Structure 1
Amino acid sequence: MKTSDVVDKKAFITEKLKKFKLVDIREQYVDLIEEAKTDKLDYEDFLIKLLIAEDEGKEQRRTAKLIAKANFDTIASLSEIDYSFNRSLDKSKIDELGSLRFIEAKENVIIIGPPGVGKSMIATGIGRNACKAGYKVMFVNAKELVDQLHISMIEGRLQETLKELKKIELLIIDELSYIKMDKEKESLFFQIIRQRYEKGSLIITTNLPMGRWDELFTGQLAATAILDRVLHHCHVISITGDSYRVKGSKKSVKL
């Protein structure tokens, strides 16, 4: 087909861009043509501008999709942390974790501290960074995770559930504090820890010091077996201080 054969050029362009699934070029090409005329771009520079528009759009949609699937409780980011409120927060350490090198190294993170000091906010901020970098992330409450695994086991879907969890590159287990597992649920939780050992990263938030993790499981032996695997390649953040919620800091978000 010759260019001269196209009667309605705009309709033709729109149809073809839709067919090729070039969403952002389709939405922006008219404005980009006008900009190219104004800036007197040559053909090569104009093509580059079109490709940049499409690439940026696809990346934004991919990030939005990953964030939606991660199921975060809040939209908190690391930039929202008020370090002046809580002096126990180590900014350099949190920034390092925010760089995501621990995910590349298949390492874990444990964030320990009393309620309201920002554990979930830090975990969420790191998780959102991971989504922006293209990693698959899941944010889940510890009790809900164990309950979901138990239901899957009863329904005969445990292996399928474990297979799906294995695809998650960063699993964030929030509030590993308010549950007491029996032998069956403890075994299910251990399967997650064992499955991810040196193969995928974990972030665990808890208000229990590691010396008290036997309170979560059936005893010290089980707690030690789990901690041995989690701590082998692990970064630990210990937070003290007042609760953001109780203090009512204007700069804080709901944690």
Structure 2
Amino acid sequence: MTAQSDLRTSLSSSLKELHLPTIRACFEEIAHIAQKESFAYERYLYELAEREREDRRHRRIQRLLKQSCLPLEKNIDAFDLKRLPQKLINQVDLLLEGFFLEKKENVLAFGNPGSGKTHLLCAVGQSLIYKGYRVYFTPCSLLVQQLLIAKRELKLSRLLKSLSKFNALLIDDIGYVQHNREEMEVLFTLLADRYERSSIMLTSNLPFSKWERIFKDPMTTAAAIDRVVHHSVILELNLPSYRVEYAQNNLKD
């Protein structure tokens, strides 16, 4: 009995040293099940490895969700897909697979305020994280200020490198707030830096014909549009505001 106890202690210590916390926590429990159900050695080892693998996957996903800064309430289950036409539903189904990330494609969602474009892209972003991809969400206004501060502190290249680790950068409400030329120059620098290297997902209530309001001059506007449209999926959410619909339905009740 003492020898068996010593063996368990030594095994626990070895598993700790090998950084296998889940196996360390459950090897005795699985051993009892294996003995009761007459598992072969390979089956016992498989059950331990699966527990460790699944627990690591869960911890990684939780870490990626936290790093993403995504609003977690905006997930695919909370989005009313029935509001979308079938063509859009088909596009969303493909986006959820994540193939566009492998091809370094962008996703551009256009629509009026309340059409659900932010919720939809956030939902896609969360689903991608569950597939193991890295996604980062930021309002455009906040991103621009971060880029501008980094430029003034001569750290812009460092910030761009930090953002490059994400498979997709989700920029919300580009053009919603008007910025000055210096601020838009750093945004253009970001778009150029990610061009054909990693994906951008963005939402906007401004069609391309009005993007000169964002980038201030025709040449920069054309260059910015060229970079985001090349290799892109465009979602046009020409829908009424779901917030207005919700309010109207509540009034009826």
**TM-score, reference length from structure 2:** 0.90
Q: Distance in 2 between matches of 1:115 and 1:155?
A: 35
8 Å CA contact 1:111–1:239 kept in 2: the answer is yes
For each residue in 1:29-50, what CA deviation from the matched residue of structure 2 results, as whole angstroms up to 9, or x when unmatched?
2322222223221111110111
Distance 1:166 1:19 in 2: 33
Equivalences, count: 247
What is the match of residue 219 of structure 1?
217
* Corresponding residue of 1:188: 186
The alignment yields a C-alpha RMSD, in angstroms, of 2.0
Cα distance in 1 between the residues matched to 2:215 and 2:27: 59
Q: Distance in 1 between matches of 2:81 and 2:120?
A: 12
> Is 1:248 the counterpart of 2:250 in the alignment?
no
Cα offset, 1:7, TM superposition: 4.0
Q: CA deviation digits over 1:198-252, x for unaligned, max 9? A: 1100101111111111111213322211000110101000002222223228xxx
5+ residue gaps, structure 1: 250-255
Alpha-carbon distance in 2 for matches of 1:35, 1:248: 52
Deviates more, 1:108-117 or 1:8-17: 8-17
Larger helix fraction of residues: 2
- Of residues 231, 235, 243, the one that matches 2:229 is 231
Q: Which runs of 5+ in 2 are unaligned?
A: 248-253
Which one is further off, 114-123 or 224-233?
114-123
Matched, 1:171 2:169: yes
Q: Distance in 1 between matches of 2:131 and 2:41?
A: 31
Percent same amino acid at aligned positions? 29
In 1, are the aligned partners of 2:109 and 2:204 still within 8 Å (CA)? yes
Counterpart in the other structure of 1:26: 24
Cα distance between partner residues in 1 of 2:92 and 2:188:
27
1:154 lines up with 2:123 in the alignment: no
CA distance in 2, matches of 1:86, 1:233: 23
Is the 2:173–2:204 contact (alpha carbons within 8 Å) kept by the matching residues of 1? yes
Equivalent position amino acid for 1:239 in 2: L
1:41 to 35, 39, 42: 39
Query: How many angstroms does 1:88 deviate by?
Result: 7.2
